[in-house]
Structure 1
Amino acid sequence: MSALFRILRTTSLTALTLCLLTAMVWAAPAKPQLQITSYLINADLDPSVNRLSATADVTFTALEELTTPTFELNNGLQITKVTDAQGHPLESERLTNDSTVRFTLAAPIPKGTSTTFHFTYAGTLKGSETSPVEGIKLASIEDPISILLYPGRWFPMTGLFTNRFTAEMHIRVPSDERVIGSGSGVAAAKSLPGNRTEHTFKWSKPGFPGTIIAGKFLEPITAGNMRVYVTEKHKDHAHDFASLGEREYLFMSGTFSQTESTHMNLVELPDDTVSAAWAPEIAAIAGNRIAARNEQRLLSNTLAHQWWGSQVSPATMNDAWITNGMSRYAELMYLEDSSGKNAFQSAITDISAGALAYDTEPLTTIGRLDPFSPQFQSMTLEKGAMVFHMLRWEMGDDVFIKFLRAILSEYADKSVRSSNVQTIAEKQSNLELQAFFAQWLDGTGAPAFADKYSVFRLGDNKGFRTVGAITQDLDLFRMPIELRIETDGKTEIRRVDISGSDSQYSIETFGRPRRISIDPENWLLKSTPDLAVRVAVLRGQELVAQGDLTGALIEYQKALDANKNSSLAAYRIGEIFFMQRNYQSAANSFRDALRGDGDPKWVEVWSHIELGRIFDVTGQRDRAVNEYRLAVQTNDNTQGAVNEARASMQKPYKREQTEN
């Protein structure tokens, strides 16, 4: 397998993984018809035949006079009976194109009226064939792990991640399986006839307790308030996984305050589903990521949803940048705390590229897009994260944390809107932020800064005055910016207010200025030549993920046109040639990557590994071992590179046999 699918240092594939959790076949209604408030679900799982049988009492309130209530339901599930609150049978129409069920009522439900429908349904759930998201397994009853993820629509629902509800669930499984759900502290498993057990889960706060994971999990490993559920296959990694989860959870609890529950379950997912999923009290990670021990950022992002997604949620999909973006930024905050400033700065550069990759739609209208699209993913995750990053710069660290906690406190168990975030930001910071939110939420694009200045010597040995102007191409842009002035003596830092396309400044320093850098710490989202390369590479990666290798090559070539020495662009081109079995061209590209600008650093170690694999598949074992040895000598273990190289020195790489 190409390193493309393992190295998640750039943001696109990580964004794809996490945004799968908010993806759907998209046909957004103008406004919701109804608000589901509670569920009572009884479900039987039979992994031997991949079958789910269930009943669901769905209580909802009509938000308008309701004549044709519509619910989303996985296409693999067939309804056998639906009755209203009086027990009268209802006729339903299945719409498979958008995984919905529609009812035409004899008498409308008046606006503001609450009622309950009782559903009886069953069906086969295996793989991704019936998934509401094409090609992604979200609900599947299998051995050794069954997943019923909330986005898999395994019960009648509406308003994905916007409609908050309470739930009581009774889940019956074979007696050799454990079940994880939200509200797991309520009751122990109850034995049933036929070697089956019933597990009860109650979540009484409005939220998203719609995920159930069942399987042949071992006795849970504990670390603090973490309980880790893994299968026999991954038991050797359980303790490290628990320790990592505990460290990340403690950091976020200290930053955002304690979550609504004192319980937290870390759960293994099958390798062939999404890489991560979350629900109240649940953070689930694919087994192959746990085994590879490269789940740190993925797990921190997933845990962050306990606050940003579970405790507060977006009022509409136009507000999804708040929770998606803050979960991404919480991931980076933990990276900064655990790995240092350099790792954080590198990640911010990648996030900036993701934010600019598809920046043609304002965040406040992003709900018009398919949430599964690369544009929705990049905008809500990456640009959303950058909005919070820039707010941190405007406010300062202490006020920024107070601002985040205020959101979580004021909107606990509620949905939050973009306007609410602005109100709290202004209240906590005592800043007027109308221009900030207009620029970054209602607008598109990022400024491209330039600086022109002159240096004058002051009399009486008082130093130097630098008079200059910062120019940029967005006439309405207004924000403070940091200047770093490197002089013959010490380096000076100044904060300059930018307003409009030409902003004057005057700075006095004792030493003669030798270099002036604009926003050296990357606090602002801005357009730069380096980011132009990363944006093109990012778009290329998205096209590879979609199977469009020709389109990806075009994007990678754009990156090389912007920077002919780009190691990253050359490396990505080499990956495509390797996938196409064009080994000579692949080798040439990986050598170009080694001769390039060395950005990012991990390109060096992985280029040597890829060259080693090329020599292995072409029968040149001595040359392959030499490349693996060079990889080990870099001492760069990004995504397990050194471990991979050492293993390949012992056993030649063999390419998987696949059909063209």
Structure 2
Amino acid sequence: MIRICRSTLAHLSLCTLLLCAGVTFAAPVRPQVQATGYVINATVDPATNKLTATVAVTLTALEDVSQITLELNNGLQITKLVDAAQHQLTPERLTTNSTVRIPLTTPFAKGTSTTLTFDYSGTLTGSDTSPVEGIKLAAIADPVSILLYAGRWFPLATPGLFTNRFTAEMHIHVPSDYRVVGSTTTESSPKSIPGNLTEYNFNWTKLGFPGTLIIGKFLAPISAPGIPNVRIWVTEKHKAPASGYAETAAEQFEYFSSVFGQPESGRLNIVELPDDAVSAAWAPQIAAIAGNRIGDKNSRRLLANTIAHQWWGSEVSPATLNDAWITNGMSRYSELMYLEETAGKTSFQSAITDESAAALAYDTEPLTTLGRLDYFSPQFQNMTIEKGAMVFHMLRWEMGDEVFKKFLRGLLSQYTDKGIRSSNIETVAEAQLTPANGSAPNLQAFFAQWLDGTGAPQFHNKFTVYRLGNNKGFRTVGSIDQDLDLFRMPVALRIETDGKTELRRVDVSGSESQYTIETFGRPRRINIDPDNWLLKSTPDLAVRVAVLRGQNQAAQGDLMAALGEYQKALDINKTSSLANYRIGEIFFTQRNYQSSANSFRDALRGDGDPKWVEVWSHIQLGRIFDVTGQRDRAVNEYRLAVQTNDNTQGAVNEARALMQKPYQRPREEN
């Protein structure tokens, strides 16, 4: 998974991934060939932004074919292409989808393998030639160049992104003042070669995704004290926070190893990415983070998610994109498990609420049919990441903590270096739950609801309390109603009585489920699923869903559609601080300062959910006063922001800086 956050304020509660592309529906494409191995010789010249490469790719036919289509970055021009018999081939470039169509001189029979050798070169400067519009995935520049696997800087079988596992032997030549970080199962020292160049050799012999290289004027790698297997590669600009960040990465790597077992490799490289590229990317042994996020305390979750891909993405991968929810979702849930471990239950519960909103934002397609959507569309990203995470969260509730962890370790051990399917999840889960008497539980209803269905239940509770004789307490007879006829899951009830609070677990099946509970104290209140173990629809969540959709529209530049979604949120809850805050952002972008100020004031007068709205509303009001020439009023708002003591996303630090220097709109906004 490659991750990008478009702005700090737009993602304070939720970080939506790769929102540049619209939802694209397409029929699933059957892969014709599978790439199994690469031998890559490449020269990278940051001074000219140029890549020159010779690549031999071994392909296995999955059906009889007379022509092959491979993906290749539009910035690269093929100068020579030959087959295994050295016959010259003439590829056709299709720039609309970053592919090349290759007619073969001899038909390629199903089950056989062959090798094609490409010579190509080109200038890679940014997102203009990217296979994903607007996102920099392959760019050669000073001081850091990126050749990410998803940038298609070498020919990839299609479809096959993040599903077609391969080996790679790479020999990379760079100027002598640059270092290269890649994936390798055997360490080798760089060596000087003619032309004031250095050759770096990488050889990943396991089937996986080793096709990412990051080249930079990096300092010698920095390790956390006593932990040499976790290293961080940064330029001089980001040297100061590197050591502390390495310690954080080592802590996360150790935590995930304790939960999931040892990863494919015991080595991990944290690598600096350019600030204007993606926020994060992963490859075997690599967790790459944007330079401006390194050392930022608010990027700990981003780092955890990226490191988790060493297990969920690298060690096991989706068999098809219909199964991408497994690795995308479990990487996100790993991030949340680490949050729970380090920040406690309250932070975890807050994150689960955000996750639930994101999971429902585009919930119109079953998880197991998403392979026909564009990989980088908002719907594919939200569903596979957020709803995928919630599926694992609910499965944890079904299983219990210890069995859930055994289940995860079982998945990883059974499918190491392989693709995994949704059906495998059900099989392994039921095997973990099989009791000693040999009768296996039936999780069919669970997976049918959450993988093959859409929507979430909206619970309603009705109950009557009866006093028992002889001072034996009270009996509560009630029913849980919800609107999904096929729903079947255990649901927690929290019963608040005159005495102690009690918890019960009730099996809910169908649209109405009866329950009977006896307590010593009189029940005063009964809450359904108080700890948010289930993905469910509530009025509060409907507000968050509408706001999230608005954020996604705003990220794509459709401000009017964003305002429409925010207004839907206000129609549900007129005092929503979050919706008012987002409206204020839109008006500020449009330079409608009075309306913007009004909205931020409404946010401050609203329900205060989430809490960070208060501090950032004061900062935004201060910015408005600064750009309208009212410095005294601006400083007062920054002072109020500091007094909240809420440093969410560095808010207090930002307010203090603005007290010293007035806010000015960035030049590109003027």
Report the TM range for the smaller structure's normalisation. over 0.9
User: 2:609: which partner in 1?
Assistant: 599
1:28 CA displacement: 6.2
Code of the residue aligned with 1:115 in structure 2: it is T
Q: 1:348 aligns with which of 341, 347, 352?
A: 352
Code of the residue aligned with 2:71 in structure 1: it is E
Secondary structure, in 3 states, of the residue corresponding to 1:361?
coil
Code of the residue aligned with 2:118 in structure 1: it is F
User: 2:655: which partner in 1?
Assistant: 645
Deviation sequence 1:13-66 (CA, Å, 0-9, x none) = x2315x88x999986653110111100000000111110000011011111112
Q: Is the 8 A contact 1:184 1:200 kept in 2?
A: no
In 2: Cα distance, 1:374 partner to 1:107 partner: 41
In 1: Cα distance, 2:13 partner to 2:163 partner: 29
The answer on 1:176 being equivalent to 2:177 is yes
User: 1:152: which partner in 2?
Assistant: 151
The answer on 1:204 being equivalent to 2:214 is no
The answer on 1:505 being equivalent to 2:515 is yes
The answer on 1:239 being equivalent to 2:243 is yes
Code of the residue aligned with 2:652 in structure 1: it is V
Deviation sequence 1:482-514 (CA, Å, 0-9, x none) = 000000000010000000000000000000000
Q: Is the 8 A contact 2:87 2:105 kept in 1?
A: no
Stretch deviating more after TM superposition (272-281 or 650-659): 650-659
1:658 CA displacement: 3.1
User: 1:451: which partner in 2?
Assistant: 461
User: 2:276: which partner in 1?
Assistant: 272
User: 1:590: which partner in 2?
Assistant: 600
Q: Is the 8 A contact 1:10 1:538 kept in 2?
A: no
Secondary structure, in 3 states, of the residue corresponding to 2:129?
coil
1:374 CA displacement: 1.0
Q: Is the 8 A contact 1:351 1:383 kept in 2?
A: yes
Question: What RMSD over aligned residues (CA atoms) do the two structures have, in Å?
Answer: 1.6
In 2: Cα distance, 1:91 partner to 1:226 partner: 45
1:180 CA displacement: 0.2
Q: Is the 8 A contact 2:23 2:377 kept in 1?
A: no
Q: Is the 8 A contact 1:26 1:371 kept in 2?
A: no
* Percent identity between the two aligned chains: 71
User: 1:38: which partner in 2?
Assistant: 37
Deviation sequence 1:294-345 (CA, Å, 0-9, x none) = 2111111100100000000000000000000000000100011111101000
1:184 CA displacement: 7.0
Code of the residue aligned with 2:61 in structure 1: it is A
1:433 CA displacement: 0.3
User: 1:331: which partner in 2?
Assistant: 335
Gaps of 5+ in 2: 435-440
Secondary structure, in 3 states, of the residue corresponding to 2:609?
coil
Stretch deviating more after TM superposition (617-626 or 163-172): 617-626
Q: 2:485 aligns with which of 454, 475, 489?
A: 475
The answer on 1:572 being equivalent to 2:571 is no
Q: 1:485 aligns with which of 484, 489, 495?
A: 495
Q: 2:254 aligns with which of 247, 250, 253?
A: 250
Secondary structure, in 3 states, of the residue corresponding to 2:570?
helix
Code of the residue aligned with 1:508 in structure 2: it is E
Deviation sequence 1:201-224 (CA, Å, 0-9, x none) = 000000000000001011111121
1:91 CA displacement: 1.5
1:293 CA displacement: 3.7
Secondary structure, in 3 states, of the residue corresponding to 2:108?
coil
In 1: Cα distance, 2:428 partner to 2:246 partner: 35
Deviation sequence 1:411-436 (CA, Å, 0-9, x none) = 00000000001100000122310000
Secondary structure, in 3 states, of the residue corresponding to 1:108?
strand
Secondary structure, in 3 states, of the residue corresponding to 1:129?
helix
Code of the residue aligned with 1:261 in structure 2: it is S
Q: Is the 8 A contact 1:23 1:371 kept in 2?
A: no
Aligned runs of 1:108-147 on 2, under 5 Å?
Answer: 108-147=107-146
In 2: Cα distance, 1:147 partner to 1:653 partner: 33
Q: Is the 8 A contact 1:25 1:98 kept in 2?
A: no
1:657 CA displacement: 2.8
In 1: Cα distance, 2:236 partner to 2:151 partner: 26
Stretch deviating more after TM superposition (538-547 or 647-656): 647-656
In 2: Cα distance, 1:187 partner to 1:279 partner: 18
In 2: Cα distance, 1:436 partner to 1:301 partner: 26
Q: Is the 8 A contact 1:178 1:215 kept in 2?
A: yes
User: 2:401: which partner in 1?
Assistant: 397
1:7 CA displacement: 5.5
The answer on 1:529 being equivalent to 2:539 is yes
Deviation sequence 1:611-652 (CA, Å, 0-9, x none) = 111111111111111111111111111111111111111111
Aligned runs of 1:618-633 on 2, under 5 Å?
Answer: 618-633=628-643
In 1: Cα distance, 2:202 partner to 2:210 partner: 9
User: 2:383: which partner in 1?
Assistant: 379
User: 1:8: which partner in 2?
Assistant: 11
Secondary structure, in 3 states, of the residue corresponding to 2:271?
strand
Code of the residue aligned with 1:513 in structure 2: it is P
The answer on 1:68 being equivalent to 2:72 is no
Q: Is the 8 A contact 2:65 2:107 kept in 1?
A: yes
Secondary structure, in 3 states, of the residue corresponding to 2:170?
strand
Deviation sequence 1:442-488 (CA, Å, 0-9, x none) = 00000000001100000000000000000000001000000000000
Aligned runs of 1:14-25 on 2, under 5 Å?
Answer: 14-17=15-18
Q: Is the 8 A contact 1:62 1:110 kept in 2?
A: yes
User: 2:552: which partner in 1?
Assistant: 542
Secondary structure, in 3 states, of the residue corresponding to 1:557?
helix
Q: Is the 8 A contact 2:70 2:156 kept in 1?
A: yes
Aligned runs of 1:264-303 on 2, under 5 Å?
Answer: 264-290=268-294, 292-303=296-307
1:247 CA displacement: 1.2
In 1: Cα distance, 2:316 partner to 2:412 partner: 6
User: 2:567: which partner in 1?
Assistant: 557
In 1: Cα distance, 2:60 partner to 2:396 partner: 39
The answer on 1:102 being equivalent to 2:105 is no
- TM-score, structure 2 as length reference: 0.96
In 2: Cα distance, 1:45 partner to 1:591 partner: 52
In 1: Cα distance, 2:529 partner to 2:310 partner: 33
In 2: Cα distance, 1:340 partner to 1:641 partner: 22
Secondary structure, in 3 states, of the residue corresponding to 1:246?
helix
Q: Is the 8 A contact 2:24 2:377 kept in 1?
A: no
Q: 1:134 and 1:215, CA in 2 relative to 1: closer, same or farther beyond 3 A?
A: same
In 2: Cα distance, 1:505 partner to 1:571 partner: 42
Gaps of 5+ in 1: none
Secondary structure, in 3 states, of the residue corresponding to 1:56?
strand
Q: Is the 8 A contact 2:23 2:379 kept in 1?
A: no
Q: 1:4 and 1:461, CA in 2 relative to 1: closer, same or farther beyond 3 A?
A: farther
Secondary structure, in 3 states, of the residue corresponding to 1:599?
coil
In 2: Cα distance, 1:371 partner to 1:69 partner: 21
Deviation sequence 1:93-122 (CA, Å, 0-9, x none) = 111111111111232111110111111111
In 1: Cα distance, 2:92 partner to 2:245 partner: 45
Q: Is the 8 A contact 1:43 1:170 kept in 2?
A: yes
